[in-house]
Structure 1
């Protein structure tokens, strides 16, 4: 059966209601997807940072980043998972005199779906880097746009709270549910 044919049948069942709807409920439900993985590309804004290759500035610094996330649904609206982000630059935090080079962030996250397609998340983890490792608290939001066949496009926005400075992350991701 084709996708359009199935939608037509479902619409007819809903329209005529009563006995037809009861018959549809007796059939086994489609299996729900419990897992999702996300690959993302984005930028991290670090207001207190300077590029090591340029003269000192007070405007902050954008750092390109890639990410990979895994989430598992544990309740109707709740997911738990792991976020991994890798910053692809070498910079210094002005006020802390803290050098950062290609740092990797790992965070355990709880994700709550506020409404269909829109969720908020929060959790904690660690930023690993050769000069100094830092604890991190991450909070953020994401919106999913269905693309079909369990694929989604996901823009996200996050705040990372670290010792001595905070960063803002804006990314776009591609998600596969399974």
Structure 2
């Protein structure tokens, strides 16, 4: 064999291995699960509220909350999504005398994974309610515990900043990645 022929064969083998490695990389990229949905149950703490039947503030009010979230991975550590929460109670916000009954919050959020399983999120949205709709800024954090077969247990904590008052939410959810 001539040195030129050996060199050509060596390049072809090297190039062939690189093409094969690229195909394997594409296969693993295609299997990345880019979507996830979360169903959660929790409580929202409203420090400036009390039950509708009470006339004086007693230091806050807990409201049961149901949530549903959808996220789509757009980068290795970034997701964008929508969060929907539904408060299952009727209460009065002190000071503004703002009545709230079964409010529904929709927020568009960006989610950033700080490290494996732990993420922070922030976004904006609207809280719809029959008495008055309110703009909302939402920020929070969540931690995902893998359960197998693309399921996760996800405790989360969120702060909602609204006109006249803020709320804190603590929830536990179940996530399915697909």
Aligned to 1:97: 97
Once the two structures are superposed, the pairs formed by residues 59-138 of structure 1 within 5 Å of their partners are: 59-138=59-138
What corresponds to 1:38 in structure 2?
Answer: 38
Aligned counterparts of 1:41 and 1:82: Cα–Cα separation in 2: 16
Inter-partner Cα distance in structure 2 for 1:42 and 1:53: 23
Task: Determine the structure 1 residue equivalent to 2:143.
Answer: 143
Aligned counterparts of 1:57 and 1:132: Cα–Cα separation in 2 = 21
Q: Do the aligned partners of 2:156 and 2:171 also contact (CA within 8 Å) in 1?
A: yes
* Number of aligned positions between the proteins: 156
Pick the structure with greater CA Rg. Answer: 2
Residue 59 (structure 1) shift: 1.3
CA RMSD of aligned residues (A): 1.6
Is the contact between residue 48 and residue 58 of structure 1 (CA under 8 Å) also seen in structure 2? no
- Equivalent residues of 2:57, 2:94 under 8 A apart: no
Q: Which runs of 5+ in 1 are unaligned?
A: 1-21
